[in-house]
Amino acid sequence: MTFDGSLIIDSLPRLMDGLWITLRLYVLALTCGTTLAIALVLMRISSKKYLSWPVMGYIYFFRGTPILVQLFIIYYGLPQLEFIRTGPLWTFFREPFFCAWFALTLNVAAYTAEIFRGGILGVNSGLVEASKALGMTYTQTFRKVTAPIAFKLSLPAYSNEMISVLKATALASTVTIFDVTGVARKIVAETFAPYEIFLSAAIIYLVLAWVIQNGVRHLERRISRYAN
Amino acid sequence: MKSIFGIALAAGMSLAILIAPAARAETIRVGTTCTYFPFNFKDSDGNLSGYDVDVANEVVKRIGAEIEFVCQAWDGLIPAILSEKFDLIVASMSITPDRQKKLDFSVPYRISEGRIIGRTDANHNLFNEDGTPIVEAFEGLRLGLPRSSVYDRWTDAFLPKVEILGYDSPDSMYLDLQNGRVDLIFTNPMKAHLSFLAADGIEGYEFVSPAINEQDYFGTGAGIALRKGNEDLQARLDEALVAMREDGTLDEFSLRYFPFTIYPE
């Protein structure tokens, strides 16, 4: 077999159709997951066990099982339950895109909650004590002191998660969705040239990863502009 | 230093002996998916079985070679044979003009056609009397089909208004039809008859299309694929298959799995 570079050029426009779906899935899962993570981490660091324990279980489940398995449970497993298939939730779970978004969001939330928790634990306890000495309430301290510093500390690990999720969107192709990977598999089936086509798909992911990496780097530089 | 060299040499030689084929007989490696009941699948004892497997075993026996099966997911079969992971594909692969650009095929050993299945109570009216699709009738409907297949190509060409969902296995397609995620599925009618329509506990589904078998898309049937430039092997395969058709062997294989014969006249 020979390498056919023109196939890469020819396949790019069609892969762009998939890119739109990949991007939509990615942005929605990342924003919703991160929002959910904030709620989860607040519960997780609470001293009340009825708040922290369920979150611990949730995080354990989603970090301890492959995303592919979770996606199959949501996509193929849930419709086996009568009340899902006949109930109002079916409007959502009927859609493959919703199932993929749902699985990714729950995943992002679990990982990001742990990342944020690490950030919060990393905040110097002296700062918290100083705030208390100034008469700030617990909530004020958390909002004005702990959270901003914790966010900055979490950023490197969070940017890692952002890139992981980008790559995880490729799993959507296993539940009938034509994202970048889904389209690539379809073109491979027509051209029988897996090398060239998957290479094109890889280039698209690399470009996206580059954008994310640089975005985070700018953000990091910006929020630490008073640090030194 | 010398002793290390000696050990390496001995190790190399014993490795060579281990790898060398035990017998002199020609071994032919056959790629198939191993998951496509009743054509090529693992039975409850884990043995590879099915119509494709029977045909492959018999053909290779008749040309006097040893057989070795390799299981490979459908969408990787052609890339794998091109990179010489195996020598033949016997996996219900239709002989289509597109595939013939990359591969040679034996004479067909099975018919190739597709039919669309839908819910009986949906009263679908999707095809004209002459068997051509009513393009408008497909608007707003979801059609499940095997990804990277003849069904896929035909749908792209004739049903521009339908929404396509691509599946990796027919079984998840049947499941999603039952769940209501898709309105229609486009599939191999022989398989669908056995695995779905005639299966226990399945009711309320029917074929909603005639047999679809345009040669440009469905080819002349399913055949054995091989890399280009093996005219000698191709001739031996053809000879064996023609003989099997004439002496009733293909009849026998068909009737093992179906109440009808499934090779082209």
**Interface test mutation site (partner A, options B171, B179, B185, B228, max chain A beta carbons within 10 A):** B179
- Picking from B116, B107, B87, B145, the residue whose alpha carbon sits closest to that of residue B221 is B107
Shortest distance, CA B27 to any CA of chain A (angstroms): 23
Structure tokens at A171: 């799993």
Residues of B in contact with A178 (CB under 8 A): 166
- Contact A179/B at CB under 8 A: no
Does any domain span residue A29? Answer: yes
- Contact A85/B at CB under 8 A: yes
Residue A214's Cβ-count burial label (10 Å; 0-12, 13-18, 19+) is: exposed
Reported ipTM: 0.77
- Contact B78/A at CB under 8 A: yes
Residue B212 backbone dihedrals phi, psi, to 5 degrees: -105, 120
- Contact A118/B at CB under 8 A: no
Map out the domains of chain B with their CATH numbers.
2-111+221-257 (3.40.190.10), 115-214 (3.40.190.10)
Does any domain span residue A131? Answer: yes
Does any domain span residue A24? Answer: yes
Q: How many domains does chain A have?
A: 1
* Interval A20-44: pLDDT, tens: 999 999 999 999 999 999 999 999 9
Instruction: Give the nearest partner residue to B79 out of A85, A190, A194, using CB atoms.
Output: A194
**Is it the case that residue B23 has pLDDT exceeding 60?**
no
pLDDT confidence of residue A48: 94
Residues of A in contact with B179 (CB under 8 A): 79, 85, 94
Does any domain span residue A84? Answer: yes
CATH number at residue A99: 1.10.3720.10
Q: How far apart are CA A100 and CA A68, in angstroms?
A: 10
* Interval B169-195: pLDDT, tens: 888 999 999 989 999 999 999 989 888
Does any domain span residue A126? Answer: yes
- Residue-range definition of the domain harbouring residue A198: 5-223
Judged by CB atoms closer than 8 Å, whether chains meet at A188 and B75 is answered as yes
Instruction: Give the nearest partner residue to B79 out of A76, A85, A192, using CB atoms.
Output: A192
Does any domain span residue A228? Answer: no
Mean pLDDT across chain A, nearest whole number? 93
* Interval A162-181: pLDDT, tens: 999 999 999 999 999 999 99
Of the candidate ranges A116-120, B93-97, B233-237, B258-262, the one whose mean pLDDT is the lowest: B258-262
CA B43 → CA A15, A78, B37, distances in Å? 39, 28, 9
Does any domain span residue A97? Answer: yes
